[in-house]
Structure 1
Amino acid sequence: MTSLIRSPLFLVITLWAAGLGAAAQFAKIVVIFPELQAHYGETGAISGYLVSLISVMGMLFGLVAGVMAIQIGVRRLLLSGLYLGAAVSAWQTTLPGFEWMLASRLLEGMSHLAIVVSAPTLIAQFTTQRHQAKALTLWGTYFGVAFAGIALSAPLILEIAGLGGLSALHATYMAIFALLLTVVLPAEDRRAAPPWPSFGDILRRHVTAYTSPFITAPALGWLFYTLTFVSMLTILPTMVDPAQRAFVAAAMPLASIVASMTIGNVLLGRFTAVSVIIIGFALAIGLVLVFLLTGPDAWLFIAIFAALGLVQGASFAAVPQLNASLPDRALANGAIAQTGNLGNALGTPAMLAVAATGAATGLPALLIGCYAIAIAVHMALARSRAKAQATPVSGN
């Protein structure tokens, strides 16, 4: 039994399941957002902060969480995030006043960040190089799986347990996985832990991360992915026949997950992760060109999300492929959290503004521009890495 729970497969699945809890920190609010608005009354546009405050924390402190992982240990950061998330959800079960609920979402942003930085770092650490790509492709599905699960179960939970029911269930889930991972995760050797960095050191770490073509590459590609992913989930279903909207809204993220776990894994067995990312963006450009020429279509939108599924899994697989050391991987995952939250925060308003102009070419042009820039950035960083690796003094 001990050998089973300490096996890499069990650890990877458990860490992925913990990631579902992190994604649910968004989903548990998004799915019942109208009911929460009704509960809190006339809060107006500020009610949107119930969703976005987690993203704000990620935008500001994504890379800081990577630095924290280096300082206190990746295992400790993960467990801190899980226990904090359980405590915050337990408090939200009481449906505190609106201002206190907003404050709790800030705390939850810290919990979310700790989990999404540390869990993929540990997954890469516990898997062999042969299996890293598949394990991190699985990790890349955590957001879509959690949203689908909560969307399907929320009506029944609301009926049985009321508005606080989702938070109560989430608190229980987080507490279970916090305790389980406390038991099964191997202890870390902290005897050689570096001294705590100063504010200037943290700023220098940001410069180091975002100027390194190894550390920053997954994050910069991820920025352009997140600029369009959530916003397309919001906007594209409104462009098809009303009878197809519910089907399209559910099928798009599922197509992304299926493509990531099937075609994505096959391609990752034959090409580098960065190459698979570029293939995914290129396929998406081709499909958006079809959209531009033929107009909206339900199956075409689903196909676009399937193409983006290749980007989804390969972006996380690129982190250990490009970065050999645990500190660099932690920084890379922190940068992904930072740019991902930035993309989520900016993407939907930008796409809504373009769609509001009524120009038929506006939305496709925005998508093609994002994906073309992403490909150009990845190709430029690949050239920088080749130059760095050809130099004997390279640090990577």
Structure 2
Amino acid sequence: MASAVTAQNPPQKTAWMEVFVLWFAGISAAMQFAKFSVSYNELLAYYQAGPTWTGASISVVGTIGLIFGVTAGLMAGKIGYRKVLIGALTLGACLSFIQATLPSFEVVMATRVLEGFSQLGVVVAAPTMIAKLSAPQHRSITMGLWGTFFGVAFALTGLFGKPLITHFELSGLYLAHGLFMTSMLIALLLLLEKGEGRYSATPLPNNDGYFTKLGKIYRTPQTLLPGLVFVFYTCTLVSLLTYIPNFIESNSLRTTMQVVLPLLSTAGTFIAGTLSQYIMRPQRVAQLAYAGLAVGAILLSQLYDSVIVFTLLISQMVLFAGLIPGAALAMIPRLARNSEEQANGYGLIAQLGNLGATVGPPSFATLITAFGLYGMVGLVLFVCLMGSLFAFLASRLDS
């Protein structure tokens, strides 16, 4: 029976339908970032709140993950992953419907804070459930698929968001997002078993206090190392996608690359899942990714005069960078000893990922301002060195 599946008795067949719907649920959660990113100019014009506060309305969602990422992993294991996921999607849909009424900016900011909890609930519960619903021979592939959810969300929102705003204004975009989240909620209510047994192993008795548990997560290599591999990726990729196109003089080519580069990153993430499943361990994939990123950066610093070569090299760098999240996510079910450690690992990835996304762009901006392209290349090389080191240490756990 499905409910008899445990960490010691993994499923023999992958529940592909549930896996794909959980992936779409992740996309709907990532759209909580993307919908305000794509509508930034319209928000600025409508609310007249100024660039700082309007920008804060985008980033505040990630701040919740930065503060409560690990806590969410602990709570999800205690409450139940299905309950957390259903609750997070319900909250997210309701908040989008509130935003569609275009309330005051103060109310908008309050909804954005609450959306941070909704987004965090999904990104902790959904990948844990995907791992539990995946047969061992497919687990790295499904984790690679999950790792694409953020890039796919931005691509879909970029594709459909502007037309929705053009025809139905801001209300249309936020209403459409609320309907999408609602459809994912209904689909999962129909697909997922009501019992939690299929999605988590029986928890081990643990009477430790909250801070003791928190400290244990940071001291446990199985949960910490994938997050440390991941944090250097988020530190770098957002900055590469933001600043590298500015070195391209051609306006048309720059615009094209702003579309192509996120797609290459998404492709790299899915490729990492396939490599991790069939060819090499995810730790080796991460090492390969950081090595490829470093080689691209070195060549970029020497061959930046040719526009074609420059474009090919930045494409190669973003593709290799895209391998990293797929590898880091695949490490978690491989290294974790039970579903509780898996959830803690995803919570820590959410926390450290938001940390990287917060400190990365200003760090790159500072060095680019001071040293130009060489400043960016130098920081990329440092990131690759540290990411490779933690991937190597993770490989020692699985040797």
What is the TM-score of this pair, normalised by structure 2?
0.90
Q: 2:360 aligns with which of 347, 372, 378?
A: 347
> 1:243 & 1:159 partners in 2: Cα distance?
23
Range that drifts further, 47-56 or 256-265: 256-265
2:238 is aligned, of 215, 230, 246, to: 230
Code of the aligned partner of 1:219: G
Structure 2 CA distance for aligned equivalents of residues 132 and 42 of structure 1: 45
Alpha-carbon separation, structure 2, partners of 1:231 and 1:295: 18
Deviation for aligned residue 1:7: 6.7
What residue in structure 2 maps to residue 46 of structure 1? 53
Distance between the aligned counterparts of 2:63 and 2:183, measured in 1?
27
| Aligned twin of 2:196 | 188
State the Cα RMSD in Å. 2.1
Q: 1:201 corresponds to which residue? A: 209
Matched residue count: 379
1:33 to 22, 30, 40: 40
Give the 3-state SS of the residue equivalent to 1:164 in structure 2.
helix
Does residue 366 in structure 1 map to residue 383 in structure 2? no
**Does residue 1:219 correspond to 2:231, yes or no?**
no
Partner of 2:85: 78
> For the Cα contact (< 8 Å) 1:268–1:276, is it kept in 2?
no
Out of 3, 16, 22, the position equivalent to 1:9 is: 16
**Structure 2, unaligned stretches of length 5 or more?**
1-12
Maintained 8 Å contact 1:117/1:333: yes
Q: Which structure 1 segments of 5+ residues have no match?
A: 1-5, 390-396
The one-letter amino acid of 1:244's match is L
Match of 2:290 in 1: 281
What is the rounded CA distance, in whole Å, between the counterparts of 1:318 and 1:264 in structure 2? 10
Which shifted more, 182-191 or 294-303?
A: 182-191
Deviation of the 1:231 alpha carbon = 1.5
Change beyond 3 A, Cα 1:86–1:56: same
Q: CA deviation at 1:132?
A: 0.3
In the other structure, the counterpart of 2:7 is none
**Counterpart residue number, 2:118:** 111
Q: Equivalent residue of 2:222, what SS? A: coil
Structure 2 Cα separation of the partners of residues 173 and 341 of structure 1: 24
The range that moved more, 370-379 or 125-134, is: 370-379
Offset of residue 260 of structure 1: 3.0
Q: What amino acid sits opposite 2:242 in the alignment?
A: T
CA drift at 1:192: 6.6
Deviates more, 1:59-68 or 1:373-382: 373-382
Secondary structure (helix, strand or coil) at the match of 1:90 reads helix
- Tell me the CA shift for residue 259 of structure 1: 2.9
Report the secondary structure of 1:361's partner residue: helix
Q: Which of 338, 355, 358 is residue 325 of structure 1 equivalent to? A: 338
Q: TM-score, normalised by structure 1?
A: 0.91
**What SS does the corresponding residue of 2:223 show, helix, strand or coil?**
coil
Which of 254, 261, 280 is the aligned partner of 2:263? 254
1:238 deviates by 1.1
Amino acid at match of 2:91: L
Per-residue CA deviation, residues 365-388 of structure 1 (Å, 9 max, x unaligned), is 0111011111112223444x36xx
1:84-118 CA distance string (max 9 Å, x none): 00011010101111111111100000000000011
Picking from 164, 173, 190, the partner of 1:166 is 173
Task: Report the CA distance between 1:295 and its aligned residue.
Answer: 2.0
Counterpart contact for 1:121–1:330, Cα < 8 Å = yes
Q: For 1:114, what is the secondary structure of its paired residue?
A: helix
* Contact kept in structure 2, 1:256 and 1:306, CA below 8 Å: yes
Question: SS of 1:271's equivalent?
Answer: coil
